[in-house]
Structures are given as structure tokens and as C-alpha cells.
Amino acid sequence: MQKQNFPKIIIALLLALCLPAGAARAGLGAVRDSIKEELAEIGENLKEIPDKVNSMMPRPDFKLLVKQAGPAVVNISTERTTVTRQSPFFFGPDLFRGHPFFDDDDMNEFFGPWGGRSQPQQKRRQSSMGSGFIISPDGYLVTNNHVVEGAEIIRVNFKGATDKDDAYEAEVIGADKETDLALLKIKTSKDLPYISFGDSDALEVGEWVVAIGNPFGLDNTVTAGILSAKFRNIGSNTLVRFLQTDASINPGNSGGPLLNMDGEVIGINTAIAAQGQGIGFAIPSTLAGKIIDDLKANRKVSRGWLGVSIQNIDASTAKALGLPKTSGALIGGLIAGQPAEKAGIEPGDVILEINGKEIANADELLRTIADMKPQDTVNITLWRDGKTLDKKITLAERGSETSGPGDEAPIIEKNTNPLGLQLRPLNAQEAARLRLPANEGGLLILQVDPDKLAAKAGIQRGDVIMAVGRIYVKDVETFNRQVRSISEKQGAVMLQMNRNGQRFIRSIDLSEK
């Protein structure tokens, strides 16, 4: 409502009050009509405000950013030889190989010459494409490991150059499968355009980001969006907590940069949600920068290693262990001769802190230890038998030590326990095939009642129960006795298990029905 109209309305109201009743009513009606007109005018003016405000707001302009960063983004094409094998059967011994129920030699004998491994191998040439970006004028560039893994030839093309004759051949300086990063190098006599890493930790959700890459081979494609989320866990990669963006990312974008508005790399585009739209994931630059520095200096990444298998703490496990809350990382098993075993850590221990830093879950423990170097000494706070315990451990180097699977012998006897499990003791041959110490014993699970608590906890036929709590069990009677004793004291039971040679822990809340 305009200011000059207020006096008119007030005067009209005063005059209407001074007039006789009939005239007053007529005067008030005129005032009411005038007010309605003024309010309608105000409503129309308010409708225009959002458009006027939007027109005054600055809009993101990516032109300069793309001109500066685009020339450093490259197309990576690879060639590799793949081997295929054909069999007249839809299955063969490879389907069963390594399974505890089957012996490899027996399977090879059964399938004979049609068993898959003895089939003639057929070789074929396979090519693929991805993206990357130059990080130094002398030709170092970054991409995803999966773009170049196994490649025999790696070609790098700059913007506008798509032919093999225009390509540079690249050498893999180093690669890290665990974070899916690779560092390449091309030979050049001139300075190349490059882009630098920024600080992904400083980026906030909702900020603009730009992706540049070569989706489906379309050279130097630019898309924009916002940072949708941080610290995403996807798939089985526990060392990387990804950035999520709605900037369009497609096959061929892998290895390309995700840029902030300053033209700095804050992520390496790596994955997409196949069943969704506008959901892409990038490796944060704060992690990638460290990995690339290691690869450049040492051609590999060295990580700390405890030598344990770990699990998260659920409510049943916390109850069974007397933990006040469901944080920490539960030790499910130990690898012989590795730092944790040497330091006296035991299955069933819970790691609560590393160097005074609280550990929320198993993934955080893995990342914390992996960020350290071999031979680093760490202070670990454990939970054992209802109290905390401190240990000092010197880390080894993270490798690929794993326990192998074994075979299973025929069923010879069975017994049923209160959890809905049919059990029998392992024999010496079974223990050897599962690579279990002879003195530990163990009970083989023959059947699992689907309506009982063990099934609800994810326990399966063929699993082996090694211990109840910290007490190793070699016969069904001891097992049942320990379950009853613990259930009366704590209301939940923790089982140390073995599945195909892998140690883990399951906890069962016995108060559930």
C-alpha cells in the first residue's frame, strides 16, 4: 500500500463517522471498497518481489573456470588382452573350488577334460576409455586405478585431439587399488596445463561444483551441480568416505576432476549410483593428495596393519560384553604372527581408542590404522572382561594376508542346543582344512532352526563355533553349559565363529523371543 493513500482512508473514516446513520453506512461501504482495491494492489506487488529479487541475485558463471581448468583434463584410452574360457557345461569345478564341502582334486576328476581349467583359452583385445587430469607441467596425471588396471597400452589425448597419432603414451608410476587411484606420467618437452588439489574438507554441502570429463568418449564435457553430501560409504570400500554430487557423471567420467568455484580439484569422479539419477561419487582431494604424494615418492602406498578381523558393535554384543554403549571395534579374529597377536590382543576384545582418539566403529578403526605408517607405535585402549586395558603396538605393513577355506567331512552325529543349532565336534581333518589350531577344538553347525535366535543372528549351516565368550568349546555339552551360564548373568551371549577359514563374532540377545 502506498503511503499517500493512508491519509485518504483515515479522512474517509472520520467523515463516515460524522454523517447520519444511513449516510455513514454508505460512507463506510465506500471506504471498504477502497481498502479492498488497495489490498489487491499490494497483493499484485508482492507477487513481483521474488522475480525482482532473483533478477538481482548473482548467478554462477563457469566460463572462466572451464577455460582455465578444461585444457588440463585429458581423455585416457587403454588396450588390454583378456582371456576367456568356454565349457559345454553351465558350471564346472571352478564353481566349487575352494569350498569347504568339496575337494579340488575330486572336482577336477569328476568334470574331467570339460572342467573349465583344462579348456583352451581364447584371447581377445579389449579397449576402454576414461578421464584424467594433469597435476604438474612436467606430465604427471591422476586417474582412477580401474581405468588403467591391467592395461598394456595407455594413451592420453588432450582436448580436441582424438586420434592415436595425437596421443601420448603414458606410464603407470604407481596405483592404489584400495582407494582406486593411479598416478601416470607422459613424456613431454613442453610445459603442460595443469590443475591443483584444493581442500575438500573446507567445502560445504550446497556449494557449487563442476565436473569435467569424457563421458561416452564425448571430449571435455562440462556439467555442474552442488555438493550433495560428504563422508559417504559406498560398496565395500571402507578406506574412502566419498563426496556426493548431483553434477552429471556418466561412464567415461571416471578419473576426471570435480572442481570447486576456484578451479581447484576437490574430488576425483569415481562412481555413480546405477539405479538413480543425479547421484555421483568422488574421492575427496584431502585423501587423494596424500595417496598421490606417496605414489610419486615411493610408487606405492604403505599403510599400518594390526592383523585382526574386526566387526561393529551391535546392541546384543554390547550387552554380552557389558559395554555401556555400542561404539568401538570388536576383534573377531587374529592373524598369527601379526602385531595384534604379538601384543596380547584376544578375540572378543573391543578397541575403544587409538592414541586417545575414540573409535566409533570398525570402519573408523580401519581408516585410522591405515592412515598410519608401518613401524609406527600406537597406544590402544581395549575393553576386556568388563574393564579397560591399555596396550602399545608397533604396526606392520598392511598386506593381503587372508585365511583360506577348507573342506568339510560327512555328518556323523548331531545334537540340538537351546539356540536352535544342531552341532557336532570338528574332527582333526576338518580342523586342519579350516587351518584351525588343534587345541582349540570347535563345533560344526549342521542345521539352523529358521525360527530360533541363531538364525536371526545370521548364523549359517557349515559355520564353526570356536568359543562361547572367551571359553573355547570342544563338545556340545560344554557349549550348552556356557550358554546357560552366560545367559543367566548377562542375558546375551557372544560366539566366536569361523566361516570358510575367516574368524568373526556373532552376539545373540537371549531375551528376544
* Amino acid letter, 333: G
Residue 281, Cβ neighbours under 10 Å: how many?
A: 24
Residue 360 sits at φ, ψ, to 5 deg, of: -80, -35
Please enumerate in sequence order all residues whose Cβ is within 8 A of that of 331, keeping only pairs 6 or more positions apart, or say none: 308, 309, 310, 340, 345, 346, 347, 348, 349, 350, 351, 505
Of 131, 200, 248, 254, which one is the catalytic site residue? 254
Residue 146 annotated among the catalytic residues of the structure = yes
3-state secondary structure of 136: coil
Query: Which H or E run includes 432?
Result: helix 428-433
Round to the nearest angstrom and report the end-to-end CA distance of the chain: 69
Three-class SS of 291-328:
HHHHHHHHCCCCCEECCEEEEECCHHHHHHHCCCCCCC
Of 180, 349, 463, 509, which one is the catalytic site residue? 180
Interatomic CA distance for residues 308 and 329, integer angstroms: 11
Residue 16 sits at φ, ψ, to 5 deg, of: -65, -35
**Beta-sheet strands, E only, within 86-167:** 121-134, 140-143, 153-157
Interatomic CA distance for residues 131 and 100, integer angstroms: 42
Of 146, 487, 507, 509, which one is the catalytic site residue? 146
Residue 180 annotated among the catalytic residues of the structure = yes
* Amino acid letter, 293: D
Q: Is the separation of the CB atoms in 171 and 209 below 8 Å?
A: no
Residue 254 annotated among the catalytic residues of the structure = yes
Three-class SS of 60-72:
CCCHHHHHHHHHH
Cα 8 to Cα 20, 28, 35, 440, distances in angstroms: 20, 13, 10, 99
Active-site positions? 146, 180, 254
